[in-house]
Amino acid sequence: MRVIFTGQTGINRSKEILKNLALFALKTEGYPEDLNDDESRKYLTVYSLNEEIKNLGIDIISFLDSHNPTAKVDAWKKAFNNILSSIQDEKPEHAFLSMHHLFYRYSSFFSPVDWEGLIKDFQPDIFITLIDDIFSIWRRINIQDKMSPSGSYFRLREIASWRSAEILFTDFLAKCLPSSKSIKNYVVAAKHPTKMLYRLLFEPEKLIVYAAFPITSTRKESKKIEEINKFRMKLHEKFTVFDPITIDEDVLRIVLDKQIKRGKILLIRKEDRWPIPNNWSLCEDVDYPIKLYANEAREVVKDIRDHIKLRDFRLIDQSDCLAGYRPNYEGKRSTGMLAEITYARDVALKRCFFVHFPDRDGGLKGSPFAGTGVVFDSVENLIKALQNQEKKKA
């Protein structure tokens, strides 16, 4: 299997994600947990296009700053050819390649990708586009530029646009790349667990589930968050789960709404974000609190809700079915879940399963959730139904 990982999580962060994923795969498959071990490299080898450009003696910032597109394309092709030569020599059973399809510098996009030639020669089986919260990426860029000044600065709005462009470009590659098979581009948030991405790649027989649950109405109460997290974790234990809280950019709107005075600085604390356990994700999150420019948050916050909706619909498209929890939580309809269930059923044509407690949430008769999916009175029964779906998939 050959996988191309792209996205805008950051060069160092992508390296960390692929390392963690590769080590997890090696451990799971019984190989030495050493990326340089000869036996392990025969099973799985990780390549980085940016690292290979550096190996040519080219500074990556100089590469980005160059006004000579021909020189940049030539350097990119030389680096990619070196990787292809290494793959030819090493012949690993699985090859992971980390690269950017689009570079963004000084408000301009640039792509050196030779998709009709070298990308085709790599023969990718799948694309993974890695994404993260835009405020996390903003923080990483700031930290990196302080450690190694590069003149890089991106507004939150630019980061959001770059992410959309990267996904679109990778979709284009996946659809148009000459191949005898269908190539998929999965969008995966970096805050998903490593096991999730391992399953997506190495255990295709696993049921892929989109987890739906009320977020806005529950996120202010720790007991409700704890209850929903138990549901989420039970899904993650059994299936490959696309989990919407791995991107939580509505935090920007929430923090702006709480800001008493319209100050210049916006402070995002760790507790503002939906909690994710330590050592659970593909990579560690940035340090909190995050100090943002409030005017940048105001620029982008008006588009955040649309980004969230479109991204969640995308994750539903990437799943086999939807599994939901209490869409009418305590008698209050979740508008987000209604949109997700409606999209899954009527547009994506995915089966919907959800847990509902009539004694706590009221009856569904006459509600917009009536007849939208198979209803269960316990999480355990929902899990059993999903396991039956998994057997049918296999």
What is the domain-level CATH number for residue 149?
A: 3.40.50.300
Q: 386, 239 in Cβ contact below 8 A?
A: yes
In a domain, 153, yes or no: yes
- What backbone phi and psi angles, to 5 degrees, belong to 178? -60, 120
In a domain, 330, yes or no: no
Could you give the C-alpha distances from 50 to 171, 226, 377, in angstroms and in order? 21, 41, 51
In a domain, 32, yes or no: yes
- Structural domain that includes position 37: 1-190
Please tell me the distance from the alpha carbon of residue 333 to that of residue 201, in angstroms, as a whole number: 35
- Mean pLDDT over each residue of the chain, to the nearest integer: 91
In 56-117, which residue ranges form alpha helices assigned H by DSSP? 60-65, 69-90
pLDDT in tens, 77-121: 999 999 999 999 999 999 999 998 888 887 888 888 887 788 889
pTM of the model: 0.94
Is residue 262 predicted with pLDDT exceeding 90? no
Is residue 149 predicted with pLDDT exceeding 70? no
pLDDT: is 141 or 166 the higher one? 166
pLDDT at 146: 53
SS3 content of the chain, % helix, strand, coil (to 5): 50, 15, 35
pLDDT in tens, 21-71: 999 999 999 999 999 999 999 999 999 999 999 999 998 888 888 888 899
Please tell me the distance from the alpha carbon of residue 168 to that of residue 392, in angstroms, as a whole number: 32
The structural domain count of the chain equals: 1
In a domain, 347, yes or no: no
In a domain, 143, yes or no: yes
